Amino acid sequence: MRRWHKFAIGSAAGIVLAGAALFALDAADKAFPPPLDKAFPPPLDRANAVSAEVLDADGQLLRAFATSEGRWRLTTAVSDVDPQFLRMLIAYEDQRFYEHGGVDLWALGRAAVQLVSNGRIVSGASTLSMQVARLIEPREGRSLSAKLLQLVRAVQIERRLSKEEILDLYLTHAPYGGNLEGVRAASLAYFGKEPRRLTVAEAALLVALPQLPERRRPDRNLKAAEAARKRVLDRVAVARAVGDGEAERAEGVAVPPQRMQLPALAAHVAEAALRKEPTVLKHQTTLKKQVQQGLEAVARAAAFKLGPKLSLAMVMADAQTGAIVGEVGSADYFDASRSGWIDMTRVNRSPGSTLKPFIYGLAFEQGLVSQETIIEDRPADFFGYRPRNFDMSYQGDVTVREALQLSLNVPAVKLLDAVGPSRLMARFRRAEVRPVLLPNETPGLAIGLGGVGITLKDLVQLYTALADRGQPARLGDGVTGAPGKLDGEPLLEPVAVWNVADILSGVIPPAGAPQRGIAYKTGTSYGYRDAWSVGYDGRYVLGVWVGRPDNSAVPGLTGYGTAAPILFEGFAKSGIATTPLPRPPAGAIRIAQSELPISQRRFALNASGLLTSGREAAPQIIYPPEGAHVDLGAGQGNLSPLMLKLQGGRAPFRWLANGKPLPDLSRRRIQQWLPDGGGYSKLTVIDSAGRAASVGVFID
């Protein structure tokens, strides 16, 4: 009985001591935790954080940014790498990884026996957990105390993290020589691809390098890298993991002797993403990697041909969704001679003739002309404004189709005079695009030939309406801006859009470019400062700008000769199959000139400045447009006069404001009216034939 009593007391004391020891160990573990914050740092701690990444719409890497300490350390998870690589890694480094709790006691015993027997270290006993401990808490030297600390840290890490999380840390932080850390960075640098699909030879090299990353770097010590890979492939456990004969075949594959550059696409979009959300480490964009690579390759080749100091920009957008799928802000981001850091897709420049399709679209919509209507291309004077064609020559009588395809200036201005510059600008606002005029300047006829400022992005946004039956899209900014179709009225009616596309799809491609089934328009700004080309198929719009960022003239720079070849090459290299242009909507047909109604056979201005289209047209108020809000200073109590402008009709004209006739008849098509006050007003004009036109406006 006494023996049992002593045994019970001893057992209880042992349990108490064991419990106290466990409690002490647990307290010590909590008091001195492993520095996992270095592996999972706060977002703002960029010194220890992983590299920020900019991704395309499908999650593919476009560009990575080195950490503040200059390291390429890309976040890597088990799901990001080839399963065969993981099997080889565990077979070579830590065969009992899923069985031990951080320390492999069997491997420790084997290493100790080998050390005593051979007087040197024959094999190591470091587990993957111990290696992670060393990576997140590096110590100089290989002292016994450092090794003991690794053992303790490995156990602590195993208590806190799952096996998969430990592997994630190893895959992200393992050293691969120079400033490369982690399997993804190494795979991209040595093989030019993500590690999701690796050959046996590639996987073996990635297993071998972290043990002695500087000595085994293939770009500096090719022989050492080959030997290290062979040691991995010769390991029996590795050979079993990869299958019969695979290790032997892998030994015959050459080791890559050079290091590649990590992906560095979409420089301007990537910089914008980082500025907008500096604490985010993964930035999703709307870009498509394949499209971006193609456009940047075209831009590099074009820049070489263009010569020094010229830059170019490209924007490709999906007209159905508004997503920017490719964007090149400059010829070379790092080329100071071209001011490559300036994103020329966001800079206001003169668009040349690229706005003409919308003028013609309005004319088609209003029934002023058809494609085969004859219009004069001769010198004309619009109240002192005398437009001239690009080549200083005139074609005489041409069809509207020919006038747009040849980008003749005088016919375009005649049509703009008929439809009204303010109405054109109002249509642009439907697409949320607001071209920039000079201070205190009202819309005038010069906007039809580039007398306005617009960005390449906004120009592409306008053309999304032409690619999708008149309904424009909001492009966003490619990063955080939400793209999508715009609600509200279309920019142009579908029949007018079809007429424009039918004409532009017949423009001859530039020399050497294949016919791709796209509609396109070119433009050259005054003084040869900007060359433009914008093209579209049934879904995608691509815009190209070429010029000098400092707005200097470039003799010989033209839209057709300079920008159009880049446009066609961009479509070809984008990797996107051509989508057919939309089918003609109901009522959209091309009518022969002989079958046109008399009113549409000829569009002209007679000697009196009267609009005629085969017969005398009824009057039409073209400014102010219907429903316009005109700021005349009503809120300040000091009203300015409103300019009234009409087209057509037979002089003299009688104007009425809110039913009250203005004092005098007028033979001019421009008149001034001073309102009595703010608010809604109804303006009416009656010509000598008794025909009338009215608009309602709001005076602010």
Residues with a known catalytic role:
93, 353
Asked whether the beta carbons of 515 and 388 are under 8 A apart, the reply is: no
- Decide the pairing of beta strands 484-485 and 473-474: antiparallel
Lookup result for tokens 């090459």: 569
Write the CA distances from 630 to 20, 627, 696, integer angstroms.
Answer: 86, 9, 11
Structure tokens at 297: 């390759």
Terminal C-alpha separation, the chain: 109
Structure tokens at 653: 């004209």
Residue 32 identity (one-letter amino acid): F
Asked whether the beta carbons of 656 and 683 are under 8 A apart, the reply is: yes
Asked whether the beta carbons of 443 and 425 are under 8 A apart, the reply is: yes
Which residues lie below 8 Å from residue 391, measured CB to CB, with a gap of 6+? none
Q: How far apart are CA 695 and CA 450, in angstroms?
A: 28
Q: How does DSSP assign 420-454, residue by residue? A: -HHHHHHHHHHTT--PBPPTTPPP-GGGGGT-SBB
Residue 260 phi, psi dihedral angles, 5° rounding: -95, 160
The CA angle 287-293-297, to the nearest 5 degrees, is 135
Residue 376 — left, alpha, or beta (φ > 0 → left; ψ -120 to 50 → alpha)?
beta
Q: At what angle do helices 421-430 and 356-365 cross, to 10 degrees?
A: 100
Please state whether the peptide bond connecting residue 580 to the residue before it is cis, i.e. omega within 30 degrees of 0: no
Please state whether the peptide bond connecting residue 652 to the residue before it is cis, i.e. omega within 30 degrees of 0: yes
Lookup result for tokens 């111990």: 130
Beta strands in 434-515 (DSSP E): 473-474, 484-485
The CA angle 22-28-33, to the nearest 5 degrees, is 125
Q: How far apart are CA 556 and CA 558, in angstroms?
A: 6
The partner residues of 376 in beta bridges, in order of sequence, read 397
The partner residues of 520 in beta bridges, in order of sequence, read 535
- H or E segment and range at residue 646: strand 642-647
Q: How far apart are CA 158 and CA 417, in angstroms?
A: 78
Write the CA distances from 68 to 73, 76, 399, 555, 601, integer angstroms.
Answer: 11, 19, 63, 44, 70
Structure tokens at 259: 């290091």
How much is the CA Rg of the chain, to the nearest whole Å? 37
